[in-house]
Structure 1
Amino acid sequence: MRRAPVTSLAMRAAFAAAAVTPLVPLAAHADPGWYVGVEGGVSWQHAQEFNVYNYNVPLSDVPDGTRIGRAQLHPGWLGGLSFGYAFSNGLRSELELSYRRNEFKSLYRDDLGLLSSAGNTKDVDGNENLATAMANVWYDLLPNKRYHPYLGGGIGVARMAINDARWDNTELRDRYDTALAWQFGGGIAYDISPHWTASADYRYIKLSGGSSFDLLENQPDTHVEAGYQAQSAMLTLRYSFGAPTPPPVPPAPEPEPQVVPVVAPPPPPPPPKCEQPQPGQALSLDGCKVGDKLVLNGVNFDFDKARLTLNAKTLLDQVAAELKRHADIEVEVDGHTDSKGSDAYNMKLSEQRAKAVKAYLVDQGIDASRMTTRGYGETMPIADNGTDEGREKNRRVELKITAGGAGSGGDGGTSADAGGDPVAPPLTLSDGPRPPLAPADPLAEPATH
């Protein structure tokens, strides 16, 4: 079969639809949901061929399926209704009912003795129509745009009829037949509003197989089969029942910033001070740094000796415990005397007493390398040697921090008993007045130390 060309009329119809839609005010796209549509346009039916079966004419041997004629038809019209559902993803399922009608234009007959003279093209009357019920599926390519092209197709049932067909003095009977039909097509749609959509559409439709007609008078056993192909250009107007999509919920307002007063963190506690212990208070090296001095109140010696008293050993046990707790601290043990006696004697006695303190601390587990000793004799008094009370204060043993402690790496500290804070008077060595040393002692002095 030969396909009839699409005429300029169809093109004009399609372009007319495209030209009209831009004049419509801009609106939102159609919403998902049920819709109905009405359609109309122009139909071009391909040339119609007729093939004969069971043709029994005396002296004629015509095989089944022999063509007996070929008809040309005028461009016709079509109209229809559609009912469908549009999904949000662009798919549309649809039931379409349509009707096409074309008038016969001419007939070319084949020389089989059935029609008039062979090979002539005759002007004919009558029409051919097609009523269809199609189940279609369409896909909108841009469903969220006002303009959206679409493609798709469908399958269904067609009723083809030939009515009032005649030429010259020959008239065919009106007959119809039902056959399976399929179609495909596409177009471009424009959403006029959330409910109304207009589109310009193209369709190609064809019957599967052919339709059978007993058109010939006086030939009850003879039937004619004819196929059907047509192209259409049409305009469609659809109404959607879907509720308009509500506008997006505006975002919740940002909460007002809460002014939270900034509470300054409490100042760190001050570092502990290196404090001279009060009478009866345990010695502590917390806060002591290089250069600080602590008078070991109560560390006494037997008269004119470098031997520690029992009370002195008890106090030195506390000193050993603190040195163990502050393992980084190194000290110098300094011995002092009052001004009684010669300078040389007092210097030696002070050195011996400093060494006695160190030796006891070593016995208590303190590493000897952490301690040095030094005797100052009477050279560094802290009170008046002219009074008993002053001499008692000058007879003392001191610890001086030489490394480690809170002031490690610093530039020295202050003496705990010579700084700004008042300190308790150091405990005396409790030597009291004493007689001159024995003559065998070359350092013997008649004075008290």
Structure 2
Amino acid sequence: MKKKQILALALLSAIGLTSVAQADDHNTDDRWYVAPFGTFIKSGGDRGAKDDWGGGMGFGKMLNEYFNVELKGFYQGFNSETGGRWDLTGGTADLQYYFFRDKFSPYAVIGAGGMNTSFRGESGATIIGEAGAGFTYELHDNFLLRSDVRYRYNNNLNAHLQSGTEEFHDMTVNVGFVVPFGEKPQAVASNYEAPAPIPAVDDCSTRDSDADGVNDCLDKCPGTMAGSKVDYQGCPVQIELKGVNFKYDSAELTPNAKAILDGVASQLKAYPQGKEIEVQGHTSSEGGYKYNVRLSQHRSQSVVDYLRSKGVTDSMHAKGYGPDRPVAENQTEAGRSLNRRVELVWIE
């Protein structure tokens, strides 16, 4: 009768622990397994007994990546220091929580159950509760070493096997192995393929390829030279040829001016506008008025001649304005330097 009571108690505990563990299911490895083990038992001082050995067998199931549930039966025995022998036969329902699953997998465990305790010819049904920690070490998909250390609480339920107390506190060290049944599930490569990225819509209204301030949808004159003033269609209206200088008191272009005009010629040939270009020459107010007008005319003509020599086919004519159109004060050298300039002006 006592053995039936122990079995019923263990079964009820297993049902309760299983329902808790099934709340979390994230892993495909849900194999059943057996787990034989040996036990070193260190009895508490309340028994007045010597340390000894035992063993048993577990039968369990991996519920998911975190939990195992297991029914375990065992036998343990040790001699009393005052004579007689303690024989413990019982079982527990265990819940193991794995912190992670890997080759080395640490876990915490709690268990509850019952056992039949015999001592000096008397026996009684007792309840036990266990808590501890351990680990498994995987040698093969179907063979793992396992060990744990547990504290055990034992209440003999008024069996009066030892005078003075019905509660005992022991420690057990279990060493064994785990043999799962069947093949270990392998990680399955996902067949999911990310959809091809949707090509971005080429929105010309957001682009300004020649940086003239008019978007590509409206720009009728692509490739406008940098620094050009443009109309609402992006076509050049006017540009100052900065850096196009001449030798002192002369219409002869400097080497640096020729290099700049080479770039201007390339742009004009690449993007002809079909409009007449007035090449305007301007001077500061230093010197005589008529002299400055003639000098500006000669200088603007030098620019026209150089651009034509580089293959520019746009209609161009030179116009010298002398000091008539200043852009700065002539009282300072800085202002006078700004007034000495050459400009291209597109004419309708």
Instruction: Please report the TM-score for the alignment, with normalisation by the length of structure 1.
Output: 0.35
The structure whose residues are more often helix, as a share, is 2
- Name the structure, 1 or 2, with higher relative contact order (CA <8 Å, separation 6+): 1
Instruction: Please report the TM-score for the alignment, with normalisation by the length of structure 2.
Output: 0.44
Q: Which has the larger radius of gyration?
A: 1
